[in-house]
């Protein structure tokens, strides 16, 4: 029997796409191998959000080419994910080791790509169809207690720095009933924490009924077997009062909300085409916190966007100190192909952008530490992921606010267990916990 291996780079959407690809490969009669160099079929499920994505792919393809010349494997190499969509046939022409290219909107056509390869053809299958196939029943979910379910694919926002609308296509929401059925099936199969996915998950609109994201969350919250529901990523401009109330009123929704603000200067936000001002963002945060007391907010920030001045950057720092995020993901602006910002004047020197990124983290770190220390003495329910590190005696899980909790010396614990722990210590990036009397829970 032939074997496969998939290398996954990038975001949760890619993790889920890998599970879809895996399901299709298994249906095609393949079984997993330990690494790409030992597999008959190797797939690279790539990400193009950051710079040098193509170079990284070419370098990995070069390694696989070497492995094939030395040992004959992998005989088939497929390029999937966002770099596949971005480069398409260009990479096929450039890299002789590549057997096929398959864009993220064409995952369902993996069997067709493999058939073409078997017939001696090299194919590039990219682009987006108006209606997407979504083969939920074929997803190879493994036995993880943490599972993803797609609510909406693609993005229509065209933020001027972002490649996603080009690599993942236009927005396409799945019917609400289909999503709820999938959540039911995933929960029945052992999924405890289910995360609804979308680049702009709260832009969700059921194509059949017009139900919005608040309605979807409410419906998913009724799936009793799903222990906890999370969702990512929310766009500030799609929240409505009604949606916030529905999220706040839905049982089992985690106390975690990822809400990228990207920049604190209105001039920069406008050039980014984000669709909100700094004042609107801060107001929204207040509204969310009033409806969901105790919610932990995380965010994304870009520094060094073309034309960003020191004064603009200081406004970003002001938002960071005003909002007090539980987690912050900071990035240096990275010029991406086809995006409008590529042609914007006012390129910020890499050294200056790097220095701003450091200052951003310096501003965030004490806030994060303070917020984490304030949790000492509290009890939280965590979902266990596994050992904190290979060979470590500590176990790691996450609470409802997505914070990592490490628990020392815990005999008999297993992945997927739910446990009550008391927080006993904190760093800026994780918490330390002790099992509460009574031992692990469900």
User: Among the candidate windows 1-9, 57-65, 154-162, 358-366, which touches ligand SF4 by CB under 6 A?
Assistant: 154-162
Q: How many residues bind ligand SF4 (CB under 6 A)?
A: 10
In the bound complex, what is the minimum distance in angstroms from residue 333's beta carbon to ligand SF4? 12
Residues near 358 by Cβ (< 8 Å), separated by ≥ 6? Answer: none
Which residue's CB is nearer to ligand SF4, number 46 or number 396? 46
Query: Should residue 158 be labelled a site residue for ligand SF4 when binding is judged by CB under 6 A?
Result: yes
**Cα(357)–Cα(305) distance, rounded to whole angstroms?**
12
Mask of contacts with ligand SF4, 165-194, x by CB under 6 A?
A: x-----------------------------
Query: Should residue 162 be labelled a site residue for ligand SF4 when binding is judged by CB under 6 A?
Result: yes
**Cα(20)–Cα(14) distance, rounded to whole angstroms?**
10
In the bound complex, what is the minimum distance in angstroms from residue 233's beta carbon to ligand SF4? 7
**Cα(425)–Cα(406) distance, rounded to whole angstroms?**
9
Query: Should residue 157 be labelled a site residue for ligand SF4 when binding is judged by CB under 6 A?
Result: yes
**Cα(335)–Cα(342) distance, rounded to whole angstroms?**
6
- Pull the structure tokens for residue 221: 């919250």
**Nearest partner of 58 among 30, 8, 94, judged by Cα:** 94
**β-strand 193-197 against 228-232: which pairing, if any?**
parallel
Query: Should residue 199 be labelled a site residue for ligand SF4 when binding is judged by CB under 6 A?
Result: yes
In the bound complex, what is the minimum distance in angstroms from residue 301's beta carbon to ligand SF4? 12
Which residue's CB is nearer to ligand SF4, number 16 or number 155? 155
**β-strand 395-398 against 404-407: which pairing, if any?**
antiparallel
In terms of residues, how long is the chain? 442
In the bound complex, what is the minimum distance in angstroms from residue 155's beta carbon to ligand SF4? 3
Query: Should residue 235 be labelled a site residue for ligand SF4 when binding is judged by CB under 6 A?
Result: yes
**Nearest partner of 98 among 3, 116, 163, judged by Cα:** 116
3-class secondary structure, 221: helix
The CA-based angle 16-128-98, given to 5 degrees, is 70
Query: Should residue 155 be labelled a site residue for ligand SF4 when binding is judged by CB under 6 A?
Result: yes
Query: Should residue 164 be labelled a site residue for ligand SF4 when binding is judged by CB under 6 A?
Result: yes
Which residue's CB is nearer to ligand SF4, number 227 or number 238? 238
In the bound complex, what is the minimum distance in angstroms from residue 153's beta carbon to ligand SF4? 11
Binding stretches for ligand SF4 (CB under 6 A) = 155, 157-159, 162, 164-165, 199-200, 235
């Amino acid at each position: 029997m032939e074997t496969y291996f998939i290398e996954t780079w990038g975001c949760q959407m890619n993790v889920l796409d890998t599970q879809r690809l895996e399901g299709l490969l298994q249906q095609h009669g393949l079984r997993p191998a330990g690494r790409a160099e030992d597999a008959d079929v190797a797939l690279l499920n790539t990400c193009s959000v950051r710079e040098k994505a193509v170079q990284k792919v070419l370098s990995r393809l070069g390694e696989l080419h070497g492995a094939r010349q030395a040992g004959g494997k992998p005989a088939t190499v497929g390029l999937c994910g966002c770099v596949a969509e971005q480069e398409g046939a260009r990479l096929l022409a450039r890299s002789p080791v590549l057997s096929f290219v398959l864009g993220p909107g064409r995952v369902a056509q993996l069997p067709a790509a493999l058939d073409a390869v078997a017939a001696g053809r090299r194919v590039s299958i990219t682009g987006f169809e108006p209606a997407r196939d979504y083969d939920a029943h074929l997803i190879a979910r493994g036995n993880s207690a943490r599972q993803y379910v797609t609510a909406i694919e693609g993005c229509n926002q065209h933020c001027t720095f972002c490649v996603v609308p080009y690599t993942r296509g236009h927005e396409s929401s799945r019917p609400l009933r289909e999503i709820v059925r999938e959540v039911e099936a995933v929960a029945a199969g052992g999924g405890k924490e289910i995360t609804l996915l979308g680049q702009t998950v709260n832009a969700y609109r059921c194509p059949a009924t017009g139900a919005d994201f608040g309605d979807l969350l409410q419906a998913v919250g009724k799936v009793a077997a799903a222990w906890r529901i999370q969702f990512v990523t929310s766009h500030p401009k799609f929240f409505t009062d009604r949606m916030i109330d529905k999220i706040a009123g839905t049982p089992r929704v985690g106390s975690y909300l990822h809400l990228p603000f990207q920049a604190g200067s209105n001039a920069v936000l406008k050039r980014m085409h984000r669709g909100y001002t700094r004042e609107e963002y801060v107001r929204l945060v207040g509204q969310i916190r009033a409806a969901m007391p105790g919610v932990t907010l995380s965010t994304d920030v870009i520094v060094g966007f073309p034309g960003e001045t020191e004064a603009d950057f200081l406004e970003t720092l002001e938002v960071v100190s005003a909002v007090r995020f539980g987690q912050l993901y900071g990035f240096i602006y990275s010029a991406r192909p086809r995006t409008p910002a590529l042609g914007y004047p006012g390129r910020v020197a890499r050294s200056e952008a790097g220095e701003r990124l450091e200052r951003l983290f310096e501003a965030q770190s004490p806030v994060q530490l303070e917020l984490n220390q304030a949790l000492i003495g509290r009890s939280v329910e965590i979902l266990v992921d596994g050992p904190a590190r290979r060979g470590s005696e500590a176990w790691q899980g996450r609470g409802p606010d997505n914070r990592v909790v490490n628990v020392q010396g815990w005999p008999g614990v297993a992945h997927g267990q739910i446990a009550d722990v008391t927080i006993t210590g904190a760093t800026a990036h994780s918490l330390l916990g002790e099992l509460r009397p009574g031992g692990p829970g469900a």
